[in-house]
Amino acid sequence: MRSLGADAAQVTSWGKGAVVVLALSACGRFEQAAPSASATAVAAPDPPPKTRPPADPVRIWVKIGKEDITTESGVLVPLPPPDKRSEGVEAKHKRSGAVADMHIVALAKAIPSCHDKPVVIEVEPETTFRLLEEVAFTLAEQGCKSFEARVIGDAPREFKFTTPVHADIEAPKILAELQDGGIALTTPVGSVGPNCEGSAKGVTIARQEGRLPSGALTLCAAKLKAGTKELTTARMVLLAAAPATSCADVVDAARALERHGNEALFPEVVIGAAD
């Protein structure tokens, strides 16, 4: 039998594939040495590849954020400085290159068709009405008919609407125009006076401390629907606003005009710009 030196070492396998070193001492006893780090280390799994989430099969999503317009395919258009947002996106991003144009080229390319899906547009409270209108107008040209605006961070503040492209604007309706001083209402028989009394041009429901009193607006709409023959069966409101109007105001007005308790008032909202 071959003699082994006192400090000789032998490498063998032990357990389930683990490699250990057995040291033979001068007294003939075996001592187990700790497995080396390199022998026991388990390679970390490769991270999963980064992929975009699949397209939503139910709806189309667009976000008008603080700095840009985004869809599920990524950032499309940067927003201009806040003091220029009443003009919408910069003219260079529009089809004709003119400020007055409302067609956003990159958005139309990203969403060439809606395939009858509703569009959810998330907006910041301070997002201008003009930006919301440009996004909706562009997608209406792509065949989108049904929209829902949601104020970011405040889920209950939302409303559904469509555009004049896909609405029968000749149908009986009430016209609601958001102004600096409040909201002006017009029925098929004429303008509604201050505090919802009589007939006169100007603000019907005035702002209170800068905010639109939703309760007063709802009561006025209910009064007009019940007391105006031409509005008895009407469901449409043409909601207009100046380009710089905040989307928070637009959402609040639309919701106030939608219903009174369980009674539907004017739930079919069509958005448009004020003259």
Please indicate, yes or no, if residue 2 is contained in any of the structural domains.
no
Please indicate, yes or no, if residue 30 is contained in any of the structural domains.
yes
Average pLDDT of the chain?
83
DSSP state for residue 94 in the 8-state scheme = B
Please indicate, yes or no, if residue 44 is contained in any of the structural domains.
no
Please indicate, yes or no, if residue 48 is contained in any of the structural domains.
no
| CA–CA separation, 133 and 64 (whole Å) | 11
Query: Would you state the pLDDT for residue 201?
Result: 94
**Could you tell me the pLDDT band of residue 140, with boundaries at 50, 70 and 90?**
very high
Which residue range forms the structural domain that includes residue 22? 9-39
Please indicate, yes or no, if residue 49 is contained in any of the structural domains.
no
Of 166, 186, 205, the one marking the end of a domain is: 166
Please indicate, yes or no, if residue 99 is contained in any of the structural domains.
yes
- The tokens describing 165, both together, are 């492209």
- Asked whether the predicted pLDDT for residue 73 surpasses 60, the reply is yes
| CA–CA separation, 221 and 257 (whole Å) | 6
Query: Would you state the pLDDT for residue 55?
Result: 59
Q: Does residue 93 sit in the same domain as residue 126? A: yes
With CA atoms as reference, report the closest residue to 176 among 152, 159, 155, 153: 159
Query: Would you state the pLDDT for residue 220?
Result: 98
Please indicate, yes or no, if residue 203 is contained in any of the structural domains.
yes
Question: Directed axis angle between helix 247-258 and helix 129-141, to 10°?
Answer: 70
Average pLDDT over residues 133-138: 97
- The string of pLDDT tens digits covering residues 21-72 is 333 333 344 344 454 544 444 555 554 443 444 556 688 999 999 999 999 9
Q: Does residue 69 sit in the same domain as residue 150? A: yes
Q: DSSP letters along 174-228, please?
A: EEEEEETTEEEEEETTEE--GGG-S--SS-SEE-BTTB--HHHHHHHHHHHHHH-
- The whole model's pTM is what? 0.77
Number of domains in the chain: 3
- The string of pLDDT tens digits covering residues 156-168 is 689 999 999 888 8
